[in-house]
Structure 1
Amino acid sequence: MKITEIEAIPYSIPYRKPLRFASGEVYAAEHVLVRVHTDTGAVGIADAPPRPFTYGETQDGIIAVIRGIFAPQLTGLRLLEREEIHARMARTVGNPAAKSAIDMAVWDALGRTLDVGVSELLGGYTDRMRVSHMLGFDTPEAMVAEAEKMREVYGITTFKVKVGRTPYTLDTAVVRALREGLGDDVELYVDGNRGWSASESARAMREMADLGLTFAEELCPADDVLGRRWLVTQCDVPFIADESAVTPADVTREVLGGSATAISIKTARTGFTTSSRVHHLAEGLGLEIVMGNQIDGQLGSVCTVAFGAAYRLTSTRAGELSNFLDMSDDLLTEPLQIRGGQLQVRPGPGLGVEIDPEQLERYRTDR
C-alpha cells in the first residue's frame, strides 16, 4: 500500500452565474483534481478548490506545491503512515487546499484498498446529512426566488445568507424578505465573510433580532480582536468562526478568547485528518459545528458529507452541500442527487465515486 505517484490536474468549469460574496466573486470553478496512485493499483481522488481572496492559494500555486514539494516528499510512504504524511506536509507553511486534497485522496485510496467506505473508517455514525444552501449576493427578489426553487425542487429548508455589503439597508432587507417570503418553517443564518465592522454587525443583528436566525458567521474581521469579542457578547445566537478558526490551535484561541461560540469545518481546507482533530476538540469544548463549503464541486461535496455523516456532532446541523448545483457541469461518472433536502454518503469503498475520463479531458486546462 505504498504511494507511487501524486497527480495534480488543473481544470475549469464555468458557473451558471457568478457567485458573489463580501470577500470576492468567482465565475468558474478553477480547481485541481488530485490523484494518489498506489502500488496495489488503488487510486485515491480528491479536489483542491483555491480561494485566493480568503487563503491566498491559486490554481497554479496548488499545482506547483504538489508537484514540486509534496509529491517528492510523500512518494514511497505507505497509506497507513498518515501521521508521517501529515507531518511532512506540515513542514511547508500554508497551502491548506493542496494539503487537504492529498490527505483526502490518501484516505480514499486506503478505503478502496481495504474495501471500506471512508465515512465508515472515520466513524460511520449515519449515511446522510441534511443540506443547507448558500444564497449569494443578489436582489431580495432574486434571492427569495432562488430559495423557493431550492425548497420546491430539492426539499432544502436551511439557507445560509451571504451578507457583508450595506448592513442597514440591502443586507438586512434581504434577510427580512427571505423570512417573510419563506415563512417560519425554514432555518436562516447569515455569513458576512468579514465584510462589516463590529459596530455595523451589532446594529445589523439588532435589526434582524425578530427574524429567528440560527447562527451568525464571520460578520467582522477576527483580527479586530477587541471588537470581535465585544460583538460576540452582543449576539444572542451562536457566532461561527470559519476562516478565522481553521486549525485546532485557531479554534482554541478564538473560543477561549471569546471571539466565537461555534465553528465551521471545511474538509477542503483541513482534509479528513485535521478535520477529525478539530471535531474532537469542539466536542470536548461543547461547541456546535456546521459543515461548511469551499465552493466545492461534486467531489468536494462527497468529501464533506462523508466526513459530516461520520460523527453525531457534525451531522446534527444541515451541512453546506449544494454549491455544486451552481456549476454548469461536473467530473463524476454518476452525478450527486439531493432528495428530500438530504444528501447521502455514496456506497462503496473509499469515497464511492469515480471521475469520468471524457469529462476530465474536456475541462482540464494543462493540455
Structure 2
Amino acid sequence: MKIERIEVIPYSIPYTHPLKFASGEVANADHVLVRVHTDDGVVGVADAPPRPYTYGETQESIGTIIEKTFAPQLTGLEIVDREQIHAVMRRTIHNQVAKGAVDIAVWDAIGKTLRTPVHKLLGGYTDRMRVSHMLGFRPAQELLDEALRFGEQYGITTFKLKVGRRPLSLDVEACHVLREGLGEDVELYLDANRGWTANEALEVLRRTEGLGLTMLEEPCDAKEALSRRRLVDKSPIPVVGDESVPTAGDASRELLSGGCNAICIKTARSGFTEATEILGLCTGLGVDVTMGNQIDTQIGSLATVTFGAAHEATSRRAGELSNFLDMADDLLADPLRIIDGTISVRDLPGVGAEIDEDKLAAYRLS
C-alpha cells in the first residue's frame, strides 16, 4: 500500500456561461486531475481547481509543485501514513489546492484499498446533502429566472448570491428582486468575495434589513482588521470567513481576532484531513460551518458531498454543490444527479469518482 507514483493531468472544459464575481470570472474549467498510484494497483483520484485570483495557484504551478516537489518526497510512503504525508507537504508553504488534491486522492486510495466508502471512514453521519446554488453577477431579473429554473428543475431551495459590486445598488436590487420573486421559504445568503469595504458591507446590511438573509460571506479583505471586527460586532447575521481561512491556523486567527464568526470549509483547498481539523476547531468553539464551492467540477462536488455528509455539523446547511451544471461537460463516468434538492454520496469504495477515460483523452492538455 505504498505510493508508487503521482500523476498530474491538466485539462480544460468550457462553461456554458461564465460565472462572474467580485474577485474574478471563470469561463473554462482549467483544472488538474491528480492520481495517486499505489504499488498494489490502486489509483486514488482528485480534482485540483486553480484559482490564481484567490490563492495564487495556476494550472501550471499545481502540476509543477506536485510533480517536482511532492511526488519525489511522497513516493514510497504508505498511503495510510497520512501524518507523514502531510509533514512532507507542510515543508512547502501555501499551495493549498495542490496539497488538498493530493490528500483527497490519498483518501480515495485508502478507501479503495479497504473497500470502504470514504464518507464512512470520515464519519458516515448521513448519505446526502442539500444543495445550494451560486448565482453570479447578472441583472436582477436574470438571477431570479435562473433561481426559479433551478428550483423547479432540481428542487433547490437555497441560493448564494455573489455580490461585491459597485455601485452597491446593483446588489441591493438583486437581493430585493430575489426575495420578492422566490418567497420567504427560500434561503438566501450573500458572498462578496472581498469586493466591498467593511463599511460598505454595513450599508448593504442596512438596505437589505428585513429580507431574511442568513449569512454574509467574506465581505471585505481580512487585512481590514479593525473595520471588519466592527462589522462582525454589528452584523445581525453570521459573517463567514472563506478566502481568509484556507487552513486551520487561519481559521483560528480570524475567529479569535473577531474577523468572522462562521467558517466556510472547502475540500478543494484543504483536502479531507485539514478540513477535519478546521471542523473540529469550529465544533469545539460552537461556530457554524458551511461547505463551500470552488466552482468545482462533478469530481470536486462529489468530494464536497463525501466530506459534508460524513459529519453532523457540515450537513446542517445546504452545501454549494451545483455549479458543475454550468459546464459543457465533465469527466465522471457516472454523472452526479440532483434529486429533490439533494446529492447523494457514492456507496462505493473510496470517493466514487470513476473517470470517463475517453472524455479525459478529449479534454486533456498534455
TM-score for both structures, normalised by structure 2: 0.99
Aligned to 1:8, the other structure's residue is in SS state strand
Shift of 1:167: 5.1
Contact 2:96 2:246 survives alignment (8 Å):
no
Aligned to 2:210, the other structure's residue is in SS state helix
Which shifted more, 250-259 or 13-22? Answer: 250-259
What are the ranges of 5 or more consecutive residues in structure 1 without an aligned counterpart? none
Q: Percent identity?
A: 59
1:106 corresponds to: 106
2:223 corresponds to: 223
Shift of 1:253: 1.1
Contact 1:167 1:201 survives alignment (8 Å):
no
Equivalent residue letter for 1:153: Q
**Pairing of 1:331-350 with structure 2 (within 5 A):** 331-350=331-350
- Note if 1:8 corresponds to 2:12: no
Which shifted more, 222-231 or 245-254? Answer: 245-254
1:82 corresponds to: 82
Shift of 1:254: 0.7
Aligned to 2:365, the other structure's residue is in SS state coil
Distance, in Å, in 1 between the alignment partners of 2:253 and 2:270 is 17
Which shifted more, 160-169 or 207-216? Answer: 160-169
1:270 corresponds to: 270
Q: Deviations over 1:117-166 (max 9, x none)?
A: 00000000000000000000000011000000110000000000000002
Which shifted more, 282-291 or 345-354? Answer: 345-354
**Pairing of 1:15-26 with structure 2 (within 5 A):** 15-26=15-26
Q: Deviations over 1:6-56 (max 9, x none)?
A: 000000000010110000111100000000001111100000000000000
Contact 1:167 1:204 survives alignment (8 Å):
no
2:49 corresponds to: 49
Cα distance, 1:28–1:76 mapped onto 2, change above 3 Å = same
Cα RMSD after superposing both structures:
0.6
2:63 corresponds to: 63
Distance, in Å, in 1 between the alignment partners of 2:84 and 2:108 is 17
Q: Deviations over 1:181-229 (max 9, x none)?
A: 1010100000000000111110111101110001000111110000100
2:318 corresponds to: 318
Q: Deviations over 1:56-112 (max 9, x none)?
A: 000000011011001101010001110000010010011111110000000000000
Distance, in Å, in 2 between the alignment partners of 1:117 and 1:193 is 34
1:128 corresponds to: 128
Contact 1:167 1:196 survives alignment (8 Å):
no
**Pairing of 1:346-365 with structure 2 (within 5 A):** 346-365=346-365
Aligned to 1:221, the other structure's residue is in SS state coil
Distance, in Å, in 2 between the alignment partners of 1:128 and 1:15 is 26
What are the ranges of 5 or more consecutive residues in structure 2 without an aligned counterpart? none
Distance, in Å, in 2 between the alignment partners of 1:347 and 1:333 is 15
Distance, in Å, in 2 between the alignment partners of 1:220 and 1:61 is 27
Distance, in Å, in 2 between the alignment partners of 1:232 and 1:206 is 14
2:162 corresponds to: 162
Runs of 4+ in 1 over 4 A off after TM superposition: none
Distance, in Å, in 1 between the alignment partners of 2:35 and 2:277 is 24
Equivalent residue letter for 2:356: D
Equivalent residue letter for 1:264: C
Q: Deviations over 1:225-254 (max 9, x none)?
A: 001001111210011000111211111111
Give aligned pairs, total.
Answer: 366
